Amino acid sequence: MNSITKRCYIALLLILTASPAFCQSGDTVEAKQGVKVELGYMVISNSLNADDYYEFKSNIAKDNENSYIRGVNLKFTFPTRVKYLDVTAGALLIKCLDEIYNGYVNPASAYADAYNLNGGGVYLGISPKLKGKHFGLTSDLAVGVLSFKEYVSIVINDREPNVDEHNLKASYGLGAVSSVGFYVSFWKMGINPSLTCIFSGGASSSFTFWGLNIPITIQF
């Protein structure tokens, strides 16, 4: 483990240990709001990870830029002593829904390709925001442990040129989640649409996704 990774883990540990003390226990109006739970549906773009290499290998290869990727984000928001700052913790799951499979495979020949992408993780961070009773502006800055995997396979042996290509890209370790958006709430229910960016790094590869998160919120 290199020194940068060690420092990141130490920073994450400090946030984890400090957040309970930072969360307020006083009698302010914000404290009475309690914990907010969000469950969001994510529409994710893979355009920042686009790789045209496989299209040069075969005209049936999947263009990963246009992958049909969706996700789910579960987030808990805890009020703090600072009126315009909350602490957040959450988990997300991302899945490529068009696990493409083209062509055919039989004992004599093959003309096929397959594509798959999925991943997720947990995160912890802060949420600066401008709060109103029924409307406000929100943002999130979080770090966490995130992992993603992308697999591409192309096998062609019934025509020229033959192709036998298999590639797995994977990221494991620290990552980040950030977003900006707004919320509308009435009573204890609301919505909090936001533009979200997700980064997952690793020793050999990394992934950066962006998209729209549309959560329903419940205030306890």
Q: What is the CATH number for 35? A: 2.40.160.20
Side chain identity, residue 49: N
- 113 with 99: CB under 8 angstroms? no
For the chain, the farthest-separated pair of C-alpha atoms sits apart, in whole angstroms, at 75
For 24-81, the pLDDT digits (tens) are 443 344 445 689 999 999 999 988 888 776 666 666 666 677 778 899 999 999 999 9
What local confidence, expressed as pLDDT, does residue 28 receive? 41
Q: Which domain covers residue 144, as residue numbers?
A: 3-219
b/e 199-220 (16+ beta carbons within 10 angstroms → b) = bbbbeebebbbbbbbebebeee
Stretch 8-14: mean pLDDT: 49
- Cα–Cα distance between 40 and 213 in angstroms, integer? 6
Euclidean distance between CA atoms 71 and 68, whole angstroms: 10
Average model confidence (pLDDT) across the chain: 82
Number of domains in the chain: 1
Structure tokens at 115: 């594509």
Per-residue pLDDT at 10 = 52
Rounded average pLDDT over 8-16: 49
Average pLDDT over residues 198-220: 91
What is the pLDDT, as a whole number, of residue 196?
Answer: 97
CA angle 118, 119, 120 (to 5 degrees): 145
Q: Cα dist. 180→43, 107, 112, 127, 128 in Å?
A: 15, 52, 41, 10, 10
pLDDT band at 90 (very low <50, low <70, confident <90, very high): very high
d(CA 190, CA 186): 6
If you average pLDDT over residues 190-195, what whole number do you get? 95
Averaged pLDDT for residues 5-12: 50
36: its two tokens: 């907010």
Element (H, E) at 17: helix 3-22
Residues 117-169: pLDDT tens digits? 999 999 999 999 998 888 999 999 999 999 999 888 888 888 888 888 888 89
Helix (H, G, I), strand (E, B) or coil at 30: helix
